[in-house]
Structures are given as C-alpha cells and as structure tokens.
Structure 1
Amino acid sequence: MPVVVKDIMKLLCSISEEKNMKATIRHSGRGALVAGAVAFVGGLVGGPPGVAFGGAVGGLLGAWMTSGQFKPVPQILMELPPAEQQKLFNEAVAILRHLEWTDAMQLTMLVMGSEALQQQLLAMLANYITTELQAEIRYDD
C-alpha cells in the first residue's frame, strides 16, 4: 500500500472541516514594527508629546493589524509548502501506521469511524498549527 501525502492531507482536511476548525496566524512582529515606527514619526514631528501620541496611535494600529481573520484549517493545510505537508504526513502516518487503505476515501472512512483516531489526529494537527505556524485555533459550532 503506497502511502501518499495527498491522501493524508485530504484526511486532515476532512477531520478539521468536520470539527469546523479555524486558525489565525498573528503577525506580532509586524504590529510591533508599525507601533514603533508611528511613535518614532510622532517624536520627530511633535517631540516628547508626539512620542506619546504616536505610541498610542501606533499601538492601536499595530493591534488592529495583528488581529488576523480566522481561516478554515483545510484552506491553510492546502496552502502549506510541500516540506510542511511532509512534516504533517510523517506525524499522521505514525498515528495511522496500523491501518490498511487503498485510497483517500477508504482512509477517511476508517478514521471517521474511530473517535479515538480522530482525536489523536486533531491533537497532532492542533499541536502542529500552534507550534509550527504559531497560530491560534478556534472551533466553530
């Protein structure tokens, strides 16, 4: 049975879609840069009071920029570069090594029939998203 990355990615997409899993990647570095830049410009224009005003405005602007919109996890998974998909594949195969399947549909049916396998794969996926992608996860009901 050849194990194909595409099959595992379809499975992970199905599971995350079933649980309405969404994630957002926050760009905190970019927000901090904006806050600092606006404070700097405020200081150049208005001296010490300009720094305070620029810092406040820059902080609000930076916070607004970093509050990312949640995207469906299946979309995020399909946009991952091949090297990242391979990492997920390796972790998933370690969980699914005892199963036998011929295609993505059969694999998905096997996993969807097992709550324990679904939970293991969801935990692995959530861990990957929060640690590797540094994203926040939300489950919509």
Structure 2
Amino acid sequence: MAVAVAVTVVTAAAVAMLCAVWPWKSILVEDVMTLLCSISEETKMKAALKHSGTSALVTGAGAFIGGLVGGPPGLAVGGTVGNILHISRTRGQLKPIPEIIKELKPAEQQKLYNEAITILGDLKCMDPKELTKHVMSNENLKQQLLVMLENYITKQLQAEV
C-alpha cells in the first residue's frame, strides 16, 4: 500500500514538473478549439465571405438596365432591385465562428492551435473546463485570443468578421 502511494506521489510530481517545463503539452488541439468556440460564442462573432465587389457589380448592372428602360426613376428602381437580388443570393453565408472552427480541416485547426498556444503558453497544465474558466475570467487573455482568432479568420480564411 505504501509503495502505491509513493508511486502516485512520484507520478504526480513528474507530471507537475512536465507541466512547468512544457505547459502546452497537456493542452490538446480539441481543448483549444473548444475554448475558442466558447470565447467567440460569448461575443457572438460571425464571419462572412467578402462580396462587396459582386454587390457593386450587381447593383450597378441593375441601375444601368433600370436607367435604360425607365430613365431617372428606373435608375433608382434598378439599383434597388439589383441590390435586393444580390442580398437574396448571398443570404445564409454569415456563419457563427464556432461553426467555422468546427468545420476546419485538422491541418487548419493545428495552425490555429499553434497561434493560440503562443498566447496560452505560460499557463500550467489544465483540464479543458479549467482552461476555459481561467480564460473566460481573464479579460486580457480573452481579448488576445479574440484578436488572434479574428486575424486568423480574416487572413487565412479570407472572411470578414
């Protein structure tokens, strides 16, 4: 019985030492993705693909055709119809960030994890719930992760947050 207790104490001490040296080893990719989903869900972050060029083109074409057919009033009506047409075509493309994170390929999740771990790197070993609780209660850490996530989505996924 004493041997089992000694082995447990030694094992716990070894894990604590590893956590102090390599804190990121205990934080799994899935744990960081769950954390990022929680943070972005709390702020209700959403992203959309950029369609501003397409919107201008469709609106302009509608205004041009309306202007040819109906003169000045047709110009206004055609532009409005073109804009409504574009909006109806792109509806539903605004996605919550947690959904986007969950749909990332493993290689993309690894890239996102690597960026997040540079921010989380000085944390000691934590289970996923403890990690999320710690980050959610630390506004500075949460803000750093939100900025990193927004930059990642904007640059890597070429979406607009």
TM-score (norm 2): 0.62
Runs of 4+ in 1 over 4 A off after TM superposition: 27-31, 56-64
2:37 aligns with: 13
2:119 aligns with: 95
Query: 2: CA distance between counterparts of 1:86 and 1:27?
Result: 28
Once the two structures are superposed, the pairs formed by residues 33-52 of structure 1 within 5 Å of their partners are none
Q: Which runs of 5+ in 1 are unaligned?
A: 40-48, 50-55
Q: 2:135 aligned with 1:111, yes or no?
A: yes
Query: 2: CA distance between counterparts of 1:81 and 1:18?
Result: 23
Cα displacement string for residues 89-115 of structure 1 (whole angstroms, at most 9, x for unaligned residues):
000000000111331111101101110
2:97 aligns with: 73
**Structure number, greater radius of gyration:** 2
Following TM superposition, by how much is the alpha carbon of 1:3 offset from its aligned partner in structure 2, in angstroms?
Answer: 2.2
Query: 2: CA distance between counterparts of 1:66 and 1:109?
Result: 37
Q: Structure 1 residue aligned with 2:108, among 84, 94, 111? A: 84
Cα displacement string for residues 25-83 of structure 1 (whole angstroms, at most 9, x for unaligned residues):
2468999xxx8xxx9xxxxxxxxx9xxxxxx9999866754566311100000000000
How large is the RMSD of aligned CA atoms in angstroms? 3.4
Q: Structure 1 residue aligned with 2:146, among 116, 122, 125? A: 122
Is the 1:26–1:68 Cα contact (8 Å) retained in structure 2? Answer: no
Once the two structures are superposed, the pairs formed by residues 14-33 of structure 1 within 5 Å of their partners are 14-26=38-50
Query: 2: CA distance between counterparts of 1:74 and 1:104?
Result: 16
C-alpha distance 69-24 of structure 1, shift in aligned 2 (>3 A): same
Is the 1:26–1:67 Cα contact (8 Å) retained in structure 2? Answer: no
The one-letter amino acid of 1:97's match is G
- Larger helix fraction of residues: 2
Q: Which runs of 5+ in 2 are unaligned?
A: 1-24, 62-67, 69-78
Is the 2:36–2:145 Cα contact (8 Å) retained in structure 1? Answer: yes
TM-score (norm 1): 0.70
